[in-house]
Amino acid sequence: MSKIVTFGEVLMRLSTPGFSRFEQARQLDVTYAGGEANVASALAYWGHHTAHVTRFPDSPIGRSAAQYLHFHGVDISNIIYGGPRMAVYFLETGAALRASQIVYDRVNSSLATIDPSELNWDEILKDADWFHWAGITPALSQGAADACLAGIEAARRKGITVSGDIFYRANLWKYGKKPSDVLPALTAGTDIVIANRENISEIFGIEGKDFVESCVNLKAAFPQVSRVIDTKRTSISATHNLLRAYLWNGESVLETADIDINPIVDRVGGGDAFIAGLIHGLITFNDEQKALEFGVAASALKHTIEGDALISTIAEVEAIRQGETSGRIRR
């Protein structure tokens, strides 16, 4: 198995039990999660050595967060401690025609207040095979953006594969920079980009008449990019979705069939499980189509599991990839 290093904010996730609204909840379920850490957790269950890099407050809350990642099998030895506070997100799970709601409280978090020199990337990435980052990190603060860039550059120097989930969330980016100021440098060092046409247009101003043309034009601007991956979610209701994915590999676009998920138990983290499955597939299989399908199967399975993290065996994901979705009891 491989060593994969991920970098990004981990938040305390506080979710209302069952389908309770925020107003009703007198208990909140607490876990710790973040897009990149979710990727690490899923991969750890499949036997990879995954190490997550982040910054937590030096408090019982910060230590609880680290311990929670360790519970999922993630190497926490590169987590650093300091800064004012834990980022938090509040989740209310919807049902049927009622949408889920997420309220973020990440301002001034320990990661946002990082000084990039606190991370020694050459040490962190020793023996690593893969480095994964996402577009939320550079949106947090200049320090977080700089730390992310330093990680990508170190990976580049060591010849480690770099994947980036480029994902444009307009209501972040409050520190004075725009995505178009920051993301090009990060993307320039990235091999595998998770993005759709809209992202490519909005962030880089790169257009295309369809996904392929956008990818071709993206590669023209960023020659290191070898693959672009996109997922498509059809939302019938808050508890019933269909999922599929596309992979452009420089030559053609591969595509999967839809997987039908009904009912959804917990939709959050579905995209991260897709990336984990894709990384596992690209590392393990010599078959991009199978890797893409493994990603979608992993994502679909995540939707049936409480919490952000995909807890599964390779065999479970592989069975779904092969179409075993009838849910008969396993004894």
Name residues contacting a copy of itself, limited to 89-108 (CB under 8 A): 90, 92, 94-105, 107-108
- Binding to a copy of itself (CB under 8 A) within 175-234 occurs at none
Residues 6+ apart with CB under 8 A from 128: 3, 4, 5, 51, 155, 158, 160
Are the C-beta atoms of 186 and 133 separated by less than 8 Å?
Answer: yes
Options 1, 28, 221, 283; binder of a copy of itself; rule CB under 8 A:
28
- Binding to a copy of itself (CB under 8 A) within 136-155 occurs at none
- Give Cα separations from 303 to 20, 239, 262 (angstroms): 19, 9, 9
Span of 128-136, 176-184, 247-255, 305-313 interacting with a copy of itself by CB under 8 A: 305-313
Is the CB of 92 or the CB of 165 nearer to a copy of itself? Answer: 92
Options 263, 287, 289, 322; binder of a copy of itself; rule CB under 8 A:
263
- Give Cα separations from 148 to 66, 135, 270 (angstroms): 20, 10, 23
Options 1, 3, 47, 59; binder of a copy of itself; rule CB under 8 A:
59
Nearest to 16 by CA among 101, 135, 132: 101
316 binds a copy of itself per the rule CB under 8 A:
yes
Cis peptide before 84 (omega within 30 of 0): no
| Strands 55-56 vs 80-81: parallel, antiparallel or unpaired | parallel
Span of 137-145, 194-202, 263-271, 272-280 interacting with a copy of itself by CB under 8 A: 263-271
Is the CB of 104 or the CB of 126 nearer to a copy of itself? Answer: 104
Encoded tokens for 300:
């679909």
Nearest distance in Å: CB 243, a copy of itself: 11
Backbone angles phi, psi at 54, to 5 degrees: -160, -175
Is the CB of 268 or the CB of 282 nearer to a copy of itself? Answer: 268
267 binds a copy of itself per the rule CB under 8 A:
yes
Is the CB of 110 or the CB of 190 nearer to a copy of itself? Answer: 110
Nearest distance in Å: CB 131, a copy of itself: 24
- Secondary element (H or E) of residue 50: strand 49-53
